[in-house]
């Protein structure tokens, strides 16, 4: 039957220093069959232009669209009272993030629109008797991953059309925190974030998934030059940049500093 190995990046958020180091780790891996990016490539970070150029160098990478990539396509900031992820449109934090979305779109221009428009909603592969589903959050929505019960209901639906499948693996990003949850023949995985972790561990993350004759899930956490990212945020001063500097430092959402 054989096996297939995926290398996964997610939630880069224009953190070029973290992305560059993550890709160098992937390049050192001896047996990668497919690289997949699970979305949220640009908004919130300091260098969208360099990020898109670096992402374009990844050979045959599959790009999944995240909610922040969708905001760029929808021009969220043009709405009368824009809000995101359940935040009040009157919340100053929400307003600052929306302003950052517009700043990011202006940095990327048409190239960013074309890049995000070409992204996939989800990607599915069947290797032997294992089905793997890759999404940003979920195929039904891009701003909230499935609960375990929701994912089990998804598995039940999918297995009707795939009676030979013995194992289901669901991979998502979005939450910026690791997840490894299993029940019956379903496993849900998230490595955290490549560029902007929220789990109090400021190291970046890339993951390697091998399925087929064997199953392996390996998350590599790595140090990168956070000072480069923090200083570039200071130099460019995009909306919300002081909060983002603290997030890079502490790997948590810090609005109190």
**Domain 3-246 architecture:** 4-Layer Sandwich (3.60)
Judging by beta carbons within 10 Å of its beta carbon (0-12, 13-18, 19+), is residue 198 exposed, middle or buried?
Answer: middle
Q: Tell me: pLDDT of 66 over 90.
A: yes
pLDDT, average across residues 204-223: 96
Q: Is 87 helix (H, G, I), strand (E, B) or coil?
A: coil
Q: Tell me: pLDDT of 87 over 80.
A: yes
pLDDT band at 104 (very low <50, low <70, confident <90, very high): very high
Q: Tell me: pLDDT of 139 over 90.
A: no
pLDDT, average across residues 104-124: 98
How many Cα atoms are found within 13 Å in the side-chain-facing hemisphere of 53?
6
Quote the CA–CA distance of 166 and 188 in Å, as a whole number: 15
pLDDT score at 227: 98
3-class SS string, 176-237: CCEEEEEECCEEEEEECCCCCCCCCCCCEEEEEEEEECCCEEEEEEECCCHHHHHHHHHHHC
**Domain extents for the chain?**
3-246
pLDDT score at 253: 76
Q: Model pTM greater than 0.85?
A: yes
pLDDT score at 255: 55
Q: What pLDDT digit, counting tens, does each position of 174-187 carry?
A: 999 999 999 999 99
pLDDT, average across residues 63-87: 96
Tokens of 143: 């701003």
């Amino acid at each position: 039957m054989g096996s297939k190995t995926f290398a996964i990046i997610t939630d880069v958020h224009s953190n070029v220093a973290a992305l560059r180091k993550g890709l160098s780790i992937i390049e050192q891996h001896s047996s990668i069959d497919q690289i997949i990016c699970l979305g949220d490539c640009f908004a919130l970070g300091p260098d969208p232009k360099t990020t898109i150029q670096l992402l374009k160098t990844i050979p045959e990478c599959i790009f999944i669209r995240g909610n922040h990539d969708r905001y760029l396509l929808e021009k969220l900031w043009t709405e009368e009272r824009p809000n995101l992820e359940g935040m009040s449109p009157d919340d100053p934090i929400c307003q600052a993030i929306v302003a950052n979305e517009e700043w990011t779109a202006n940095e990327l221009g048409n190239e960013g629109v074309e890049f995000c428009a070409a992204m996939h909603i989800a990607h599915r592969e069947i290797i032997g008797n294992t089905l793997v589903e890759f999404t940003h959050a979920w195929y039904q929505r891009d701003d909230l991953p499935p609960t375990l019960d929701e994912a089990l209901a998804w598995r039940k639906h999918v297995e009707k059309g795939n009676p030979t499948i013995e194992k289901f693996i669901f991979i998502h990003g979005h939450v910026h925190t690791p997840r490894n949850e299993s029940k019956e023949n379903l496993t849900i995985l998230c490595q955290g974030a490549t560029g902007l972790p929220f789990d109090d561990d400021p190291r970046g993350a890339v993951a390697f998934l091998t399925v087929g004759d064997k199953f392996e899930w390996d998350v590599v956490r790595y140090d990168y030059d956070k000072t480069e990212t923090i200083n570039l945020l200071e130099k460019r001063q995009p909306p919300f940049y002081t909060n983002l500097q603290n997030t890079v430092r502490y790997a948590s959402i810090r609005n109190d500093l």
